[in-house]
Structure 1
């Protein structure tokens, strides 16, 4: 079947005027042309129109006239409406489309339409907000909201050697909008749906009310039936009985009434409270302060993977997939750029695509993730995936008690240390195999370089570019030596010229000797606590309290009742003696106490060894890069 294509003449900014015959005419505004076909999605068409006219995606509606009828405007609100518009203009090459801006347009969160197809709708926890980013005032760029702010807050501390443009020096951290403001708005929607018998003027009003109700109670729903006269919705969670059905009243063609409703949720959809979300936000917000407190005199490097994920979430719905892909690719290039001028050049390219994305990146503290600005040594390692092995061990044992979880991790580390120590014993090179391969690749580039001998420790190396190498400071102007810990091709050319070995100028962490020292010691097995306690108790002598004497004085005349006479005597859960409990027990043998203390000491020692092995893992993973 051939695809029908037409040219949509999109007009915006003008006004409708009524002629004498009752027809409508459109005057003023701007016009743009877009090629559309019957395979195009309504969301893609609306997104393209929003970008073209620099307007908000949710604050506009699309309308058109039927051929030969200029009195009634037809609204396009879903894929079916767009397909019908193209079909109605089948005999024409063009179609006039009018973009009408709504005064209080809200984002179409659930994208609800009149289609009969069953859809799944995920209601957001809070309505989207527009957070103005006033880093650079550029009226030619659209003010595109980025949604929630970056979860890495704080004041930017850009390296003084990096010459930022003047307008960027006034960057302010993204302000965090108080969650209580959103919660207050959601609380007003909690009682929008009261139950069976509630009426609505139209199906559209019921859908909008249902959307707000789901936002307030924080659950996702999906449509089972959805057309112009009936709507049936159920909770998206598997097995949750929540369900609602509304349909037209027989006495009217407009009013919608809730006929059946099961308000019970078993999925815990409305269990998320203000305190819970505030706790999550506070924990993320306090991560930076905790790291600086625990790891003093250290540099905090951000994981580039999580940074890009945050950027994608904040740009959700604002750009096409291709544009997002270009931004993420440029972000990685900017992160790996060795020099500040290259970083600035790449970010300027992002600025040409989106001013909002550029401001987002400059506010994300690039001195913590960009190679050209990072003050510490991360050896060109931009992600925190070296800990995934430990994460998998912990996730496999997450249902065990803490002592057993530590024991599982200890066993995995014992096996890991053994195999890596065995493998490293077979290496014959001075560097680890991965570092040896990288050094060899750099050595192959030396033949095209020319070294200019100078006095002192600085040398000039000419090739595709001219670089300065400082042998005493282990520094090259290309920054490759400093970033990787291995001599770059320029440094190797100088090293060969002065008759030295490149291995003497490699980081000691990459040597085979350091790798073997990392796994030289092993974690010794320790006995289980329950096993030791069981063996000790088997040798213990069970004692009871000595017989009591008659107290002096006249015995009491109070009669002992039957219930008091049959009262069960106390028995100690430690020594099994009668007449006392474990809180007042003094009969536990001293050697059992000493054994318990000894086992606890051994467990603490094992935990310390586990921490040492984890640190060794980090060093080894860095050396393999």
Structure 2
């Protein structure tokens, strides 16, 4: 399981106000792995500190020699809580939320393209190229963005020990869908329902993984197939030992299979061999799956889902305790109609709103856009025969 944890909060949609804080990791098959969650009274610095304190006490500082890394949407108080409770952890910011703040001040398609090229750049050469183009187009946008810590939003500055190249929190949005209608349930019902869902998910994924035949997970195997296809465009020159020189177009890259490194740095950041390394591995006639990081292996996946959540009997069978009765939070009436879905951006389409058919009208007579054959100026006048009608029965001239 990855040490990159997505920190997320989900608010209630009922008369009793609560906030669900969750820490979610990614397994080796790009699936969500809920690590911990807590019910708190609100999204505050104190709540995040409480949650991160107990999370840190369980998972520790260094997991299998991999540093902790948190990716957030910069929610209220979460950055201060991370710096206070887990100062040794690295912190990433969701690129989509960072861009939403960026485009409010600096809109435009060119600036958008420069932003995402810089955010997804695996090496400093591509990053500097994109930032230089942004600086020429809009110097204020460049200065605003360059002030942000590079290790929090650009791939080339990520800690390679984390073995994750994700720059957005988009995948975590499915956690809201996974919680689903439980957001309107009482707290005890919510917690018990989450336990049951987790219990079934862990067992189901473990059983499916036992039938896998490859060394890596299915999602990673699909990625490796794409990498193999892309590597066919590379020219490999063996230098000796485990070192190679790979030419792709007009660019050259140095690959070291022993160190699992490439000059493009995609292998170091993601933990998966890049297309340049894949070309060298193919020349060596070795198995590409053996050069993937252990995090993507079937064995690691089985260890992640090897534990079980033990079932719980009915509440009537529980032993009577002397603990204090926990009262529910006070009722809080929210203004307006309760919302079930998250608030979307202005330029973000709603699900199902886009039609599969094109909304552009095209005339079948003149082949122009904006009108149909009934309003076409070149079409035949109503009640009069077309110009070709009088010649249908005539013999052609020889």
**Normalising by structure 1, what TM-score?**
0.37
Change (3 A) 1:277 1:299: closer
Q: Name the counterpart of 2:18.
A: none
SS where residue 244 of structure 2 aligns?
Answer: strand
Q: Name the counterpart of 1:584.
A: none
The structure with the larger Rg is 1
SS where residue 142 of structure 2 aligns?
Answer: helix
CA distance in 2, matches of 1:327, 1:423: 44
Deviation of 1:327 (Å): 1.8
1:227-255: per-residue Cα shift (whole Å, max 9, x none)?
A: xxxxxxxxxxxxxxxxxxxxxxxxxxxxx
User: Are 1:492 and 2:278 matched, yes or no?
Assistant: yes
SS where residue 223 of structure 2 aligns?
Answer: helix
Q: Which has the higher contact order (CA 8 A, sep 6+)?
A: 2
CA distance in 1, matches of 2:214, 2:159: 31
Pairs within 5 Å for 1:271-286:
284=75, 286=77
Of 144, 167, 189, 1:382 maps to: 167
1:183-233: per-residue Cα shift (whole Å, max 9, x none)?
A: xxxxxxxxxxxxxxxxxxxxxxxxxxxxxxxxxxxxxxxxxxxxxxxxxxx
User: Are 1:343 and 2:130 matched, yes or no?
Assistant: no
Q: Name the counterpart of 1:429.
A: 214
Is the contact between residue 393 and residue 409 of structure 1 (CA under 8 Å) also seen in structure 2?
A: no
Of 168, 181, 193, 1:396 maps to: 181
SS where residue 381 of structure 1 aligns?
Answer: coil
Deviation of 1:354 (Å): 1.9
User: Are 1:299 and 2:90 matched, yes or no?
Assistant: yes
Change (3 A) 1:488 1:285: same
Q: Name the counterpart of 1:211.
A: none
Deviation of 1:356 (Å): 1.9
User: Are 1:313 and 2:107 matched, yes or no?
Assistant: no
SS where residue 364 of structure 1 aligns?
Answer: coil
Q: Name the counterpart of 2:150.
A: 366
1:386-427: per-residue Cα shift (whole Å, max 9, x none)?
A: 433443455633344433321111111122223323332343
Deviation of 1:361 (Å): 1.0
CA distance in 1, matches of 2:275, 2:172: 31
Deviation of 1:433 (Å): 1.7
Change (3 A) 1:390 1:447: closer
SS where residue 245 of structure 2 aligns?
Answer: strand
Deviation of 1:479 (Å): 1.4
CA distance in 2, matches of 1:440, 1:492: 10
Is the contact between residue 368 and residue 374 of structure 1 (CA under 8 Å) also seen in structure 2?
A: yes
**Normalising by structure 2, what TM-score?**
0.56
Q: Name the counterpart of 1:501.
A: 287
User: Are 1:467 and 2:285 matched, yes or no?
Assistant: no
CA distance in 1, matches of 2:172, 2:44: 27
CA distance in 2, matches of 1:460, 1:433: 30
Q: Which residues of structure 1 form unaligned runs of 5+?
A: 1-275, 537-591, 601-625
CA distance in 2, matches of 1:442, 1:393: 31
Change (3 A) 1:285 1:532: closer
Of 193, 198, 202, 1:417 maps to: 202
Q: Name the counterpart of 1:454.
A: 239
CA distance in 1, matches of 2:301, 2:233: 33
Is the contact between residue 485 and residue 506 of structure 1 (CA under 8 Å) also seen in structure 2?
A: yes
User: Are 1:526 and 2:312 matched, yes or no?
Assistant: yes
Number of residues of Structure 1 aligned to a counterpart in Structure 2? 255
CA distance in 2, matches of 1:279, 1:299: 20
Q: Which residues of structure 2 form unaligned runs of 5+?
A: 1-42, 48-73, 327-398
Q: Name the counterpart of 2:338.
A: none
CA distance in 2, matches of 1:343, 1:444: 25
CA distance in 1, matches of 2:304, 2:179: 22
Q: Name the counterpart of 2:80.
A: 289
CA distance in 1, matches of 2:99, 2:299: 37
CA distance in 2, matches of 1:487, 1:367: 22
Is the contact between residue 253 and residue 276 of structure 2 (CA under 8 Å) also seen in structure 1?
A: yes
Q: Name the counterpart of 1:440.
A: 225
Deviation of 1:467 (Å): 0.9
Deviation of 1:480 (Å): 2.0
